[in-house]
Chain A
Amino acid sequence: MNNPGVYDLASVALTTALTGEVVTDISGVEYVGGLDGMLAASIQTRFAYGSGGTTCKIYIQTSLDQGTTWCDVCCVALTTSSATKVVNLSGLTPKTTAATPGDGALADDTCVDGIFGDRWRCKITSVGTYAGNTTVAVRLTAR
């Protein structure tokens, strides 16, 4: 691929409840682009829990149509303890059964492997009010 490297999909301090909030922000652009040709994506989610809150779901999404339709490829579920979770997805995984793109609908701690668009983003849905410097950091290592 042309642009391998580590990308910041999310760096956010959690406070009030979020409902399907896109948290990727690359100088005002709500996705990481230029990832066409990517063959593998390792995604690390680091949740630093402070206090409060109930649940937090992090959806990693990609788009195959320039951002018109976003498709969940990974959902990481978190609660009230610090956690680091990693997944690795491959762009070469055949997907021979048609899947319907879901937006913020993937089951907890599951992935849809093999769907790789040229842009990726992160969406968060949280319940309850987190406090105490609770932060989420999501990094995409593209290669």
Chain B
Amino acid sequence: MTPEQCLASYRRSLDRVGEDIIIRRYTGAGTSRPKFDATVRGRVIEYLPKELVGTIQQGDRKLIILADDLVTAGFSLPLRKGDKAVVRGKELNIEAPDDNTRRVQGVLIAYELQCRG
């Protein structure tokens, strides 16, 4: 499967079962600091009990989002720890963005985000 085919497959799947998620990055400091939001298609998944190891805590969530959506939205990649994900109005902290797992032939298809909050 080529990266293009894989991306199309992910997009079909997330269109069917996913939801809109806002990826947010703050700049500067203070309570009124500016932010940039990018709306992406993604899916929210709870961790299985057996996955609760290392830095993954109960209540953490795994988000799968399309990297292509972030590129199109003009979001400055890569995602970093401390960026935010807004899921159904609730702002979660991105603890660990994984940009390795969902690569195909070196092309990043989707991010896996460990989120907390």
**Interface residues, chain A, CB within 8 Å of chain B?**
6-8, 11-13, 27, 44, 46, 48-51, 82, 84, 132-137, 139
Contact = CB atoms under 8 A, between A and B. Distances in A.
Interface string B35-72: 01000000000000000000000000000000000011
A133 B28 contact: yes
Contacts of B77: 8, 11, 137
Contacts of A6: 71-72
Contacts of A13: 76, 80
A48 B75 CA distance: 10
A135 B28 CA distance: 11
A132 B76 contact: no
A46 B74 CA distance: 7
Contact of B27 (A27, A44, A48): A48
A138 B29 CA distance: 24
Contacts of B89: none
B71 A139 contact: yes
